Structure 1
Amino acid sequence: MIRLSEEHLQTIRTYAESTYPDECCGIILGYLASEGKIVVEVMPTENAWNTEAAAEFPGKRTTESKRRQYAIAPEIMLKTQKEARNRSLNIIAIFHSHPDHPAIPSECDRLYAWQGYSYIIVSVQNGKAGELQSWSLDDHHQFQAETIENII
């Protein structure tokens, strides 16, 4: 389970709408508790997907654009990880949007996902954020739906 406030959810939705028709992405900081992952901060990041980023991944992803792919620059991940550590937090989730597609992970999402993180996907249909779902990888590297609990 991942627990977010309405403000956190709104930040994700607003950012997803602002980047439409491209995918948005970002990092979510928080901590692990007995009741699940607790979100403290949602940090929108630039979608750094480009042909150079695509070259880092195997397969035929080099022709894909930001409309169907996202990447968070490695230096942003590292910087955010250090800042989180200094605040006694962790990166607990990654979010991104699916423009004009459902909030269901793609095969590419699965291939490049890291175990231990939640992956929040928001569907953006015709520029308007809609369905939002969270996913996490199981022991077989398959996505399983994760409950989102709204906290006040």
Structure 2
Amino acid sequence: MIRLSQEHLQIIRTHAESTYPDECCGIILGYLGTEGKIVLEIMPTENVWNTEAAAEFPGERTAESKKRQYAIAPEVMLKTQREARVSEARRGSEVRSLNIIGIFHSHPDHPAIPSECDRLYAWQGYSYIIVSVQNGKAGELQSWSLDDTHQFQAEAIENIK
């Protein structure tokens, strides 16, 4: 399960609508709690998919544009992880360091279901939130995580205040 606020969901939806008809992407920061992943920050990022990014991911889809692919710059991921580890999350008497716990992206004019490319490049342990954007308007939003056989399974989303 992944737990996040309405504000977090709105940040994802707004970013997805602002980048349409291209895919948006971003980083989900939080920690693993006793009741699943707890989201504390949503960080929209630039979709840097280009021919250089495509070269890192060989395959039949590499020639496609940002309308069907996304990439987060590796230096952004590294910088975010370093900064998150020194940040502290306070929940009651608990103090935890933050981590990247997931990635979000949009599927313009397609369902919020992971593609084969999404699966091939996903990392176990992360949540993958996908929002469908139909004609520029954010709609269905689902979270997914990889099982032990590297297949996506739906992950429950719980709204927290």
TM-score of the superposition, structure 1-length normalised? 0.99
1:141 is matched with: 150
User: Equivalent residue of 2:62, what SS?
Assistant: helix
User: Equivalent residue of 1:69, what SS?
Assistant: coil
1:97 is matched with: 106
> How much identity, in percent, do the aligned residues show?
88
Distance in 2 (CA, whole Å) between partners of 1:128 and 1:59 is 30
Deviation per residue, 1:65-114 (Å, 9 max, x gap):
00000000000000000011011100001000000000000000000000
1:42 is matched with: 42
User: Equivalent residue of 2:125, what SS?
Assistant: coil
| Displacement after TM superposition at 1:59 (Å) | 1.1
Tell me if 1:24 matches 2:33. no
Which runs of 5 or more structure 2 residues have no equivalent in the other structure? Answer: 88-96
Distance in 2 (CA, whole Å) between partners of 1:93 and 1:10 is 16
Which runs of 5 or more structure 1 residues have no equivalent in the other structure? Answer: none
2:133 is matched with: 124
Distance in 2 (CA, whole Å) between partners of 1:60 and 1:130 is 28
**AA paired with 1:11?**
I
User: Equivalent residue of 1:76, what SS?
Assistant: helix
**AA paired with 1:150?**
N
| Displacement after TM superposition at 1:9 (Å) | 0.2
User: Equivalent residue of 1:63, what SS?
Assistant: coil
**AA paired with 2:74?**
P
Distance in 2 (CA, whole Å) between partners of 1:10 and 1:106 is 23
| Displacement after TM superposition at 1:62 (Å) | 2.7
Greater CA drift, 91-100 or 57-66: 57-66
- RMSD between superposed Cα atoms in Å: 0.5
Higher radius of gyration, 1 or 2? 2
Structure 1 ranges of 4+ moved more than 3 A:
none
